[in-house]
Amino acid sequence: MRKLALVVVSVFAFVGCNNQKNVVENESKTISEVKEYKVPKIEYEASSRGFYEKITIENQMVSVVNERDVKDKGEAVKISDDVNKELNSYLNSVKLDQLATFKDPTQKRFYDGAAIANLKITVDGVEYKTVDFDHGFPPVEIEKLVNKIVSFNVKK
């Protein structure tokens, strides 16, 4: 009876360890693998006294709002395939799980030298957000991505 109990416990322990190993292996997939299947929503927002800018990119469409308290999301414009590929290449180079740890290179926003900006990327309902940084001076890790996003707000 003891041998049977020992065998049963050993089998359950072995199966449980294998299942735990599979879960850990699945969690260690890179963010770029996850992003290949999910369409991210990108929101960039910058504001200070007298300045506001919100750029939203979703489903290969970009909308820009330059006024606070505006209820509509602005006019959505389709992004070309080439620009979308460039944007996705910048996005794939970013480790989303580390987005909140990126350091801001300057702190001009503390004395009104720059607007306060942040970036939020939503993938499959999970939000990844940066700490606040100076508009025009993003963290080095996301500089190319932010500069590309900001380039969509061209004054006409």
Q: Is residue 155 part of a domain?
A: no
Whether 24 and 52 map to the same domain: the answer is: no
Look at residue 138 in the predicted model and tell me its pLDDT: 95
- Torsion over CA: 147, 120, 127, 121 (sign): negative
Residue 82 sits in which domain range? Answer: 38-150
Look at residue 9 in the predicted model and tell me its pLDDT: 65
Dihedral-angle region of residue 130 (phi above 0 means left; psi in -120 to 50 means alpha; beta otherwise): beta
How does pLDDT run along the chain (156 residues), one tens digit per residue?
777 666 666 666 666 655 554 444 444 444 555 445 467 999 999 999 989 999 999 999 999 999 888 777 778 899 999 999 999 999 999 999 999 999 988 888 888 889 999 999 999 999 999 999 999 999 999 999 999 999 998 754
Q: Which two tokens stand for residue 108?
A: 């001009």
Give the total number of structural domains in the chain.
2
Whether 67 and 87 map to the same domain: the answer is: yes
Whether 58 and 108 map to the same domain: the answer is: yes
Whether 105 and 142 map to the same domain: the answer is: yes
pLDDT by residue (tens digit) across 17-31?
555 544 444 444 445
Rounded to whole angstroms, the Cα distance separating 27 from 87 reads 25
Q: Is residue 11 part of a domain?
A: yes
- The phi, psi pair for 31, rounded to 5°, reads -65, -35
Look at residue 108 in the predicted model and tell me its pLDDT: 87
Whether 1 and 57 map to the same domain: the answer is: no
- The phi, psi pair for 19, rounded to 5°, reads -65, -40
Whether 21 and 57 map to the same domain: the answer is: no
Rounded to whole angstroms, the Cα distance separating 57 from 40 reads 8
Q: Is residue 156 part of a domain?
A: no
Whether 78 and 4 map to the same domain: the answer is: no
pTM above 0.85, yes or no: no
Whether 120 and 47 map to the same domain: the answer is: yes
